[in-house]
Amino acid sequence: MAEQQLQEKQFDLLYEELRKISKELETIQQRLAMLETMPVALQELSRLSRSLESLAYAALGREGPRLRRRA
């Protein structure tokens, strides 16, 4: 009977460790899913940056920016 209790306790400990590992794997999987969306977001930010730059130059007209130098 004592041996069976020992086996049950070992099983419970093993089961608990496996649950912890499972939770960690779920966390890793969620982080990887988030990282997969990063390149798309970076492309969109790059496009937005280029668009804003184009709008800024269009607002300045043909001459471009006038810079004054300090003496």
pLDDT tens digits for the chain (71 residues)?
A: 788 888 999 999 999 999 999 999 999 999 999 898 888 888 999 999 989 888 888 887 766 566 666 65
Residue 7 in domain: no
Residue 47 in domain: yes
pLDDT score, position 2: 82
Contacts of 57 (CB under 8 A, 6+ apart): 64
Residue 9 in domain: no
pTM of the predicted model over 0.95 = no
Residue 24 in domain: yes
Residue 68 in domain: no
Residue 51 in domain: yes
Contact 64, 57 (CB under 8 A): yes
pLDDT score, position 15: 95
pLDDT score, position 37: 86
Helices (H), ranges, the chain: 2-60
The domain total for the chain is: 1
Residue 1 in domain: no
Q: Which domain range does residue 34 map to?
A: 14-57
